[in-house]
Amino acid sequence: MEFLKRARAELMELRKVRVWREHVEIFDVNGDRFDVLDIGYPDTDIVVLLRSIGTSFKPDLIHRPIERDYKEFKTGRRFPWAEDRIL
């Protein structure tokens, strides 16, 4: 995760992410790509990775296999102020 944080600084604003069975591709607005190897949608750590880059996805469905080669999600998710507070 620390390596991803350092590498993310080299990219512009993130646009989308493709999650394959064995790796992840992160794209910025210019189309530049960063690959994260040895992690895919079957892995439990994928939820932490996707949340760290602001991906909009359903954590309970991310591990389900699909017929396509990859799952594609948009990034840039923002949380409302005080979402973590109990009312």
Q: What are the domain boundaries of the chain?
A: 2-74
What's the rounded mean pLDDT across residues 58-82?
Answer: 87
Task: Tell whether the torsion through CA atoms of 50, 56, 59 and 60 is positive or negative.
Answer: negative
Place of tokens 């493709």: 18
Residues 23 and 37 sit within 8 Å (Cβ to Cβ): yes
Position 2 confidence tier, pLDDT thresholds 50, 70, 90: low
Position 14 confidence tier, pLDDT thresholds 50, 70, 90: confident
In the predicted structure, residue 53 carries a pLDDT above the cut 80:
yes
Q: What pLDDT is stored for residue 34 in this prediction?
A: 87
Q: What pLDDT is stored for residue 6 in this prediction?
A: 64
| Sheet with 33-37, edge to edge strand ranges | 33-37, 23-28, 14-20, 70-74
Position 80 confidence tier, pLDDT thresholds 50, 70, 90: low
What whole-number distance in Å separates Cα of residue 28 and Cα of residue 15?
Answer: 5
What whole-number distance in Å separates Cα of residue 46 and Cα of residue 29?
Answer: 22
